[in-house]
Chains A and B, each alone.
Chain A
Amino acid sequence: MVIYGVYIISKSGGLIFNHDHNVPRIENEKTFSYPIDLVLDYEPKKVSVAFGQKGGINVGHVLTSINGILVTGNVLEDGRDVKEVIENRDNYPLNLKFSRPKMTTNEKIFLASMFYPLFAIASQLSPEPKSSGIEILEADTFKLHCFQTLTGVKFIIIAEPAQIGMDQLLRKIYELYADYVLKNPFYSLEMPIRCELFDTNLQLLLDQVEKTGLANI
């Protein structure tokens, strides 16, 4: 039972809520000697592995620290440039830590607004009239379950492919939304959801589903 995340998209297509639930964090630290046997891709925003997969460090993973000093973008916390540090023989041996990249909030907002037209296109592509949009989108590592209410709000769960009963869970989340978000007098419609009670109750619900299954909710 693994649920990776919950997203809510408003009627107009904006991401109004996201919650990362149970995403396992993969981190690998390794000591390298000169020359480094990984091909790194230096971009202004991140330094990632382009080629040369080994020991749990996979293509696409990003560099998070050098010798325990955090990396932000392509500079170290102490201001040195990552590329210069790695290419300088005198600095070796170097202890590099890589991890799977995490999505930033901006990227999530971007993806949510891309899902919106996809959903609409799906309903238009349908060979039968009066089709719904995308309800389930399946990939080999996850399954996306989407539930659109009659008022146009979309609730999305990203979960393990084998997970069942997600449509019941979506309805439960809808109930929580109706209770803790819409009955909150300080919440204005269509705005991002910042309601602590909603967060805690959603967390409770997801934990309960993961522990004991859907039967008890």
Chain B
Amino acid sequence: MSRQATRLDAKKVNSELLTLTYGSLVSQMLRDFENIDDVNKQLERIGYNMGMRLIEDFLSRTSSPRCLEMRDTADKVQQAFRMYLNVQPTISNWSAAGDEYSLIFDNNPLTEFVELPPDMTNLRYCGILCGCIRGALEMVQLEVQCWFVQDQLKGDNNTEIRIKFIRRLEDAIPAGED
């Protein structure tokens, strides 16, 4: 069984396995949908559904308290990336209002062996990450927007994900929590 043996240290899987599995998912989707926009949309949706479940795993392992500030949230998102992908994105480019920031990745395990063919420049290969962040934060009653600003696959220096706070989902906050 997965957890019992590796209870104390986080589960260890070779990241190449993840990279290849993810790659085969994306390439299968490109085969299934003619349209690259549809693939982008589906990847985002898969990520969203994963995030909604993954957040419980994150909370149960870290027992983190509720974040009441965007900077706390940024720290937690960073911590989650360390836990699940073993990468440490840098947090930077805060907006003046403190409601928008970027996660910058020097390397991204999902794109390890990947080169984008020239006709697929509008494919958001790692769109699943954005969906995941959005889904997870929504379960803790934070609505955010999440998109790619830079992508190493498209020739940029870094991969940059921008996260923008939209609002707190007040009516979804559980009783005794607000």
Among B17-25, B33-41, B50-58, B77-85, the one that faces the other chain is B50-58
Question: Do A175 and B60 touch (CB < 8 A)?
Answer: yes
Instruction: Check if B176 sits within 8 Å of A189, measured CB to CB.
Output: no
- Could you tell me the distance in whole angstroms from the C-beta of A36 to the nearest C-beta in chain B? 49
B61 CB → nearest A CB, Å: 7
Whether A122 is near chain B, meaning CB under 8 Å from some CB there, is yes
- One of A52-60, A81-89, A99-107, A147-155 at the interface: A147-155
Central interface residue in A131, A149, A151, by most chain B CB within 10 Å: A151
A203 CB to nearest B CB, Å: 14
Provide the bound-state CA to CA distance between A39 and B178, in Å: 51
- Number of A residues, CB within 8 Å of B: 26
Are the C-beta atoms of B177 and A132 separated by less than 8 Å?
Answer: yes
Q: Mask for A117-159, Cβ within 8 A of B = 1, else 0?
A: 0011011100000111100000000000000111111000000
Place the interface of chain B in its size category.
20 to 34
Task: Select A178's contact among B1, B56, B178, beta carbons within 8 Å.
Answer: B56
A150-B66, A151-B140, A171-B63 known; A133 vs B56 contact (CB < 8 Å): no
| Residue contact B56 to A120, C-beta cutoff 8 Å | no
**B65 closest partner in A (C-beta):** A150
Contact flags (1/0) for A68-85 with B, using CB distance below 8 Å?
000000000000000000
Check if B55 sits within 8 Å of A179, measured CB to CB: no
- Are A178 and B176 in contact (CB-based, < 8 A)? no
Chain A residues whose CB sits within 8 angstroms of the CB of B63 once the complex forms: 171
A154: min CB distance to chain B, Å: 8
> A123 near B56 (CB under 8 angstroms)?
no
A120 to B177 CA separation, bound complex (whole angstroms): 10
The yes or no answer to A98 lying at the interface (CB within 8 A) is no
Task: Tell me if A131 and B176 are in contact (CB < 8 A).
Answer: yes
Contact with A along B138-178 (1 / 0, CB 8 A): 01100000000000000000000000000000001111111
A179 to B63, CA, bound (A): 15
Given contacts A119-B176, A120-B176, A131-B176, are A149 and B53 in contact (CB under 8 A)? no
Pair A182/B177 contact, Cβ less than 8 Å: no
Cβ-defined contact, A179 with B57, below 8 A: yes
**C-alpha gap A177/B3 in the complex (Å):** 12
- Does A11 belong to the interface (CB within 8 Å)? yes
- 30 contacts across the A-B interface (CB closer than 8 A): A120-B175, A122-B176, A124-B175, A130-B178, A132-B177, A133-B175, A133-B176, A148-B174, A148-B176, A148-B177, A149-B59, A149-B60, A150-B59, A150-B66, A150-B177, A151-B56, A151-B140, A152-B173, A152-B174, A153-B56, A174-B56, A175-B3, A177-B56, A177-B60, A178-B60, A179-B3, A182-B53, A182-B56, A183-B53, A189-B53
Additional A-B contacts beyond A174-B60, A175-B60, A182-B57 (4; CB < 8 A): A119-B176, A132-B177, A151-B139, A179-B2
The 8 closest A-B pairs by CB, nearest first: A133-B176, A152-B174, A120-B175, A123-B176, A182-B53, A178-B57, A178-B56, A178-B60
